[in-house]
Amino acid sequence: MAPRLEFSNFWAKDTTKGTPVVVTMENPNFSVVEIDGPDAAFRPVDKSRGKNAKQVTWVLLLKAHRAVSCISWLATIFWALLGTIKKRLIYREGVAMESGKLGKQKLLFTVIRVFLVTSLAILAFEVVAYFKGWHYFRNPSLHIPGTSDIQSLLHMVYVAWLTFRADYIAPAIQALSKFCVVLFLIQSIDRMILSFGCLWIKFKKIKPRIDWDSLKSDDVEKFGYEYPMVLIQIPMCNEKEVYEQSISAVCQIDWPKERLLIQVLDDSDDESIQWLIKTEVANWSQRGINIIYRHRVVRTGYKAGNLKSAMSCDYVKDYEFVAIFDADFQPNPDFLKQTVPHFKDNPELGLVQARWAFVNKDENLLTRLQNVNLCFHFEVEQQVNGVFLNFFGFNGTAGVWRIKALEESGGWLERTTVEDMDIAVRAHLNGWKFIYLNDVKVLCEVPESYEAYRKQQHRWHSGPMQLFRLCLPAIITSKITAWKKANLILLFFLLRKLILPFYSFTLFCIILPLTMFVPEAELPAWVICYVPVFMSFLNILPSPKSFPFIVPYLLFENTMSVTKFNAMVSGLFQLGSSYEWVITKKTGRSSESDLLAAAERESKMVNQLQVHRGASESELTELNRIMEQKEVAPKPIKKANKIYRKELALAFLLLTASLRSLLSAQGVHFYFLLFQGVTFLLVGLDLIGEQMS
């Protein structure tokens, strides 16, 4: 570090003594630099000094090379996109149209297609008017020429269109856009309040705690109370990829074996998968684990029917709590010791919910975007509602229920596809409280393909609307406080389940492109850009590593609004496939520690036939056949990509609107519509997910 100037001056005044000595050297091989002051030697050297023309040329060439590389990279991506469009959209190579029922399901696609055709016709008309010099759309006051200024028949038609647009179309779009903007702001305020609530929880370090001192006792009489009887249920259906790791993880939970029972509830209709699951259950049973296998012949009621059938067993009355894990969930060995103690000395507690963690969150772009949404859901929504309201929607898995709370709330019902939210609402109406543990995480998977994610989101958004129709009378007539009723109806159902997909689809996918053709109803830039970006910023806060994906996240959420809006309408009015249950496709991915544990178990595993030594000869033959099929697995067949018509139609609608925005020189609108249209195009061609890893 350079010496301070004041200290150097002071030292020079006090220590300068003696006679100066001049030293000369012959043939010096160094240069002499004149120093004017004590800090002169430490001043930065001008880097540009001494550069010759050759060095400048090389610097310019390097910068030009970088620019050309960037342009060529963009050109390559654009050319690949055009090639994919040609291959999938024109020649239909290796693609299949999206599966869906005819009839009412096509209504939304028909409406979007009508808007698209109308926008193309208006765009062509506007382009002709632009080259004719009729730039009336650039005038904010929309000056419409009089009769004396009419130049031709086409000009007269164009003026008539301007008059009709200003008098009839613009007021309707303005009214709808204002309504959607108000809903958008209300939902944004709700997100901000939740975010501030999460910050307050972190600042005050508020979280449910266990009184470990009261649990530590050597008294034998209290042993049964400290380790209550716990039932674990693993519902599954044709879960060939994940059944083994889920059963293995649950069987390794640290809890007294005599006070734990594991039910494997298999609804598989494939006999080979049934035998594989039976074999896995038998293996763990031979190791001393209290585990049983249950299979329903008639699969009614989907997951709710499966759980309801299991709870009807006579031995269930001996158990106090039940933990539920879906087939792809892998709890840690200390899961029960982290959750069950919260029920002690808390008789009003009905549910303890743990957080999900994802083994494949970095698999591709789609999984990263899902991770943003789910992190906000667990970190903010579930945690804030759990701390301040003692109520939230049960996530269907990774939770522990008090069996008494399930029974008093009516048990599992088969009336909707969201049986987890159904039982949570009914338990809340009966006065039971919930606890959410953000620190207790259970590993699971998120869908890696757009098709699987789309079907999952359809079920998650159509089911709540079904439930809202069925539960509304019970909520109104319940004995809970008016504040809790308002929270259930206005916030839990209407704002977060109905209004969110409605305004997102209507505002950004319909109104915004229409306003490009009706400038009188133009949306302000803060609605299109600033507020959505700020809301996306809040959503990404719980997962800070996802900040580079803030723009793709915003665009993709608007794209998913089509599926969510369609599901919301079908569930609210019971249209189309509102009661259709599609099992989310799993890949069976595990964490590194799980893979090491699995390899160790395989090395110690006994012969499969010895486990079934008491079986009949036909069963042994069937088991041998199944094991041979498992060892020699066929090569996976590459799945054909889907073509999603609604997303493609909206892509062309938004791209058409972006071209129209060029005529009126609207920069923010143009870029937003362009990028949003490209996102719809990528999703419509099934280019997001497994193919974009």
Q: Please report the DSSP string for 8-64 in residue order.
A: HHHHHHHH--S-------SS--S------STTGGGSPP-TTTT--HHHHHHHHHHHH
> What average pLDDT does the structure give for the chain?
81
Is there a domain that residue 83 lies in? Answer: no
Residue finishing a domain among 423, 448, 473: 448
Of the residues 266, 328, 420, 686, only one is catalytic, namely 420
pLDDT per position as a tens digit, 303-334:
999 999 999 999 999 999 999 999 999 999 99
Of the residues 267, 326, 328, 422, only one is catalytic, namely 267
To which residue do tokens 């008093």 refer?
A: 408
DSSP 637: P
- Alpha-carbon gap, residue 120 to 126, rounded angstroms: 10
Is there a domain that residue 626 lies in? Answer: no
> Residue 636: pLDDT above 70?
no
- Alpha-carbon gap, residue 576 to 567, rounded angstroms: 9
Backbone phi, psi, residue 295, to 5°: -135, 130
> Residue 605: pLDDT above 70?
no
- Alpha-carbon gap, residue 149 to 137, rounded angstroms: 16
Distance of CA 398 to the CA centre of its chain: 18
> Residue 422: pLDDT above 90?
yes
Is there a domain that residue 153 lies in? Answer: yes
- Alpha-carbon gap, residue 691 to 75, rounded angstroms: 19
Instruction: Say whether both 194 and 246 belong to one domain.
Output: no
Interacting residues of 147 by C-beta distance below 8 A, sequence separation 6+: none
> Residue 274: pLDDT above 60?
yes
Confirm whether 211 is a catalytic residue.
Answer: no
> Residue 622: pLDDT above 70?
no
Residue 89: band (very low, low, confident or very high) from pLDDT cuts 50, 70, 90? low
Instruction: Say whether both 266 and 347 belong to one domain.
Output: yes
Instruction: Say whether both 435 and 349 belong to one domain.
Output: yes
pLDDT per position as a tens digit, 407-419:
999 999 999 989 9
DSSP 256: -
pLDDT per position as a tens digit, 237-265:
988 989 999 999 999 999 999 999 999 99
Instruction: Say whether both 408 and 360 belong to one domain.
Output: yes
Instruction: Say whether both 540 and 402 belong to one domain.
Output: no
In sequence order, the β-bridge partners of residue 95 are 641
pLDDT per position as a tens digit, 153-166:
777 777 788 888 88
CATH code of the domain in which 258 resides: 3.90.550.10
Instruction: Say whether both 158 and 296 belong to one domain.
Output: no
Residue 572, Cβ neighbours under 10 Å: how many? 17
Instruction: Say whether both 295 and 441 belong to one domain.
Output: yes
Mean pLDDT, residues 274-301: 93
Mean pLDDT, residues 294-303: 87
State the residue range of the domain holding 287.
Answer: 227-448
Instruction: Say whether both 431 and 524 belong to one domain.
Output: no
Dihedral angle of Cα 419, 424, 426, 430, to the nearest 10 degrees:
160
Is there a domain that residue 648 lies in? Answer: yes
When divided into structural domains, the chain yields a total of 2
Nearest Cα residue to 565 out of 642, 646, 486 = 646
Is there a domain that residue 602 lies in? Answer: no
CA angle 393, 399, 403 (to 5 degrees): 95
Residue 553: band (very low, low, confident or very high) from pLDDT cuts 50, 70, 90? very high
Confirm whether 686 is a catalytic residue.
Answer: no
Nearest Cα residue to 391 out of 346, 433, 348, 356 = 433
